[in-house]
Amino acid sequence: MQITIKRDKSFEDFQISEGLTLLAALYEIKEQHDPTLTFSAGCRASVCGTCAVRVNGREELACAYKPKEGDTVEPLQYHPVLRDLKVDKQQAKTTLQKSQTWLHSYTEVALTPQDAHLTERQTDCILCDSCYSACPVFAVNPDFLGPFALTRAYRYTVDKREGESKSIVGAVQTNGVWDCTLCGECTAVCPKGIDPKMDITMLRGESLNHGYSDPSFANQSFGTPDFGGGFGFDPNGGF
């Protein structure tokens, strides 16, 4: 079977054995044909989040994808490519830090199964960055906090042990909840079945509850003098 892999400067075709996962095929290529082929990998069992790539334009975990004849494999989008399929994921940490996705102030409460269920799916996240790669907002706003950071922000916001959810909500107002276009690409590609689109929608509700509002309404100019808006690049402008 032949697949095409995006290398640093060009696309290159490789023959691979039948029946392998894409990750096993990448190892086969590296060990038997080309030791310079570079990619990231870890657990082989879809839980460490290391090996996400794009296959024919769609995000997949290499360890959970069965290649088909003629597939084209590329690195994730909107990440600096370090080499071949390996990308720089430092930005992920930055967006989590900006979003303040942690428990700010522990409040003693005995959680019920229903309480735990509120964050069950969100905490399945393996930080594979697939949703970042699929998110079209990054094409216009590289500072967008992005799907997984917002899902994680939502997860702590609704955790009943969080006594200070207002801080988290406050941290995701700029380049955050309101910048999402709710296109649902993140939800479509998540290998863990997480629904960031829904989480972001819910987080908008939380924002309204805490007295925040959609800045795109405030920024719209109706011919009155514009104080504050209009400087820099606003992805919502003109939408």
Query: If binding is defined by CB under 8 A, does position 175 make contact with other proteins?
Result: no
> Rule CB under 8 A: is residue 24 a binding residue for other proteins?
yes
Instruction: Fill in the DSSP letter of residue 106.
Output: B
Residue with tokens 């930080």: 127
Q: Which is nearer to other proteins, 125 or 150 (CB)?
A: 125
Q: Which of residues 55-74 bind other proteins (CB under 8 A)?
A: 64, 66
**Beta carbon nearer to other proteins, 3 or 127:** 127
What's the min distance (Å) between Cβ of 183 and other proteins?
26
Counting beta carbons within 10 angstroms of the beta carbon of residue 190, is it exposed (0 to 12), middle (13 to 18) or buried (19 or more)?
Answer: buried
Site residues (CB under 8 A) for other proteins, limited to 134-163: 152, 155-156, 159, 161-162
- Of 41 and 134, nearer to other proteins (C-beta) is 41
Instruction: Decide: is 111 part of the binding site for other proteins (CB under 8 A).
Output: yes
CA-based R_g, the chain, Å: 20
69 vs 232 by CB, closer to other proteins: 69
# chain residues binding other proteins, by CB under 8 A:
57
Q: How far is the CB of 123 from other proteins (least distance, A)?
A: 5
CB 115 within 8 A of CB 145: no
In angstroms, the CA 163 to CA 125 distance is 23
Kindly state the smallest distance separating residue 116's Cβ from other proteins, in Å. 4
CB under 8 Å to 223, separation ≥6 — which residues?
Answer: none
Q: Which is nearer to other proteins, 113 or 232 (CB)?
A: 113
Residues 104 and 167: beta-carbon distance below 8 Å: yes
Residue 208 Cβ vs other proteins, minimum distance, rounded to whole Å: 24
Question: How far is the C-alpha of 144 from the C-alpha of 136, rounded, in Å?
Answer: 10
Least Å from the CB of residue 143 to other proteins: 18
Pairing of strands 52-55, 2-6: unpaired
Pairing of strands 72-74, 2-6: parallel
Shortest distance, position 172 Cβ to other proteins, whole Å: 15
Please say whether the beta carbons of 197 and 137 come within 8 A. Answer: no
Inter-CA distances, 78 with 53, 114, 123, 176, Å: 12, 37, 24, 17
| Footprint of other proteins (CB under 8 A) | 19, 21, 24, 30-32, 35-36, 38-45, 47-50, 64, 66, 82-83, 86, 89-90, 93, 96-97, 100-104, 106, 108-113, 115-116, 119-120, 123-127, 152, 155-156, 159, 161-162
